[in-house]
């Protein structure tokens, strides 16, 4: 019995480590609020020949929900989920396997600060949308990277405003604020 309790506690610590370790992911995993999914999907403005990135996709709550809507509307929208945490990558891959629109979804294990974003979207570089739900102290850095690689991209930031893009800011009020930049 003591051995089982030990295994359980060790497993618990492993899970806590994987989800909170700054080494594995400098931004902690925290999913977008379920109640805001519809408003976020609307803000993404799904259309044909569009590519939507979720940088730090977590368990894919947004990407998979938006991809379902795109599928229902018969759109060819492409979705790219970038995640660094191996456990979340595993969850993303399992969810992808059962998704009705899996042909249009790409899961990438990479570091959003280091990767070249334009790599998977060479054909769709004009209509590119980024969804960000990351810690405010990293937002500016990622927004700059996006603007550098995709000057015409639309950016949706959940919960936190991007100071350097304030001029083009629009807000949607859900359970939390959704900031839209064009």
Report the interface residues with ligand SAM, using CB under 6 A: 25-27, 29-32, 54, 56-58, 61-62, 82-85, 88, 111-113, 133-134
Q: Give least dist CB 108 to ligand SAM, A.
A: 9
Using alpha carbons, select from 118, 129, 121 the residue that is nearest to residue 157.
129
Nearer to ligand SAM, 8 or 119 (CB): 119
Long-range pairs for 62-65: beta carbons < 8 A, 24 or more residues apart: 62/32, 62/37, 62/131, 62/133, 63/105, 63/131, 64/95, 64/99, 64/105, 65/37, 65/41
Nearer to ligand SAM among residue 49 and residue 143 (C-beta):
143
Residue closer to ligand SAM by CB (options 53, 150) is: 53
Least separation in angstroms between CB 19 and ligand SAM: 8
Residues with Cβ within 8 Å of 114's Cβ and at least 6 positions away in sequence, in order, are none
Kindly state the smallest distance separating residue 167's Cβ from ligand SAM, in Å.
25
Minimum distance from residue 62 beta carbon to ligand SAM (Å): 5
> Would you say 9 or 15 has its CB closer to ligand SAM?
15
- Of 47, 74, 80, 48, nearest to 62 by C-alpha is 80
């Amino acid at each position: 019995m003591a051995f089982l309790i030990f295994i359980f506690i060790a497993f618990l610590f492993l899970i806590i480590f994987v989800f909170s370790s700054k080494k594995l992911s400098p931004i902690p995993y925290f999913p977008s609020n379920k109640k805001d999914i519809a408003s976020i999907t609307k803000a993404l403005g799904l259309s044909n020949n569009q590519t939507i990135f979720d940088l730090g996709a977590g368990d894919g709550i947004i990407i998979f929900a938006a991809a379902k809507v795109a599928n229902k509307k018969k759109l060819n929208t492409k979705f790219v989920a970038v995640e660094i945490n191996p456990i979340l990558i595993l969850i993303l891959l399992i969810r992808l396997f059962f998704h009705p629109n899996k042909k249009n979804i790409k899961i990438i294990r990479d570091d959003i600060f280091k990767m070249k974003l334009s790599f998977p979207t060479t054909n769709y570089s004009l209509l590119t949308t980024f969804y960000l739900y990351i810690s405010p102290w990293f937002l500016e850095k990622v927004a700059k990277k996006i603007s550098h690689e995709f000057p015409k991209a639309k950016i949706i930031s959940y919960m936190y405003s991007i100071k350097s893009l304030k001029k083009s800011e629009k807000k949607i009020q859900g359970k939390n604020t959704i900031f839209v930049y064009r």
